[in-house]
Amino acid sequence: MECDLHGYEQAEAYIEILHTLKECKAKNDQILQIIHGFNKGTILKSYVQSQKFIAQMKKEGFRLSRKKSPNPGTSCFKIEP
């Protein structure tokens, strides 16, 4: 499933990512691709690729492991059971 964060501030992005993770869980989708951009999206890219982000998602009940993404404007995650 994809989560496009173009135009979002960090707090809004956090909420959108949680919403998408809940959808993934409901649809039993184990891969999340977050589209953050790479030119103007560096703040969101840095956040999404940080350990802080992984820890925050774990506190929300989602265990994520980062997967390699061929596109510098996206980050991919496997949603662990």
> Domains of the chain: which residue ranges?
2-80
Provide the token pair at 7. Answer: 């135009």
pLDDT at 40: 66
DSSP state of 76: E
Q: Given 3.90.640.10, 3.40.50.300, 3.30.1370.110, 1.10.3720.10, which CATH number is that of 2-80?
A: 3.30.1370.110
pLDDT at 37: 87
Please identify which residue in the block is written with the tokens 């059971």: 81
Please identify which residue in the block is written with the tokens 């404007």: 73
CA distance 7 to 74: 14
pLDDT in tens, 52-63: 999 999 999 999
pLDDT in tens, 2-34: 999 988 999 999 999 999 999 999 999 999 999
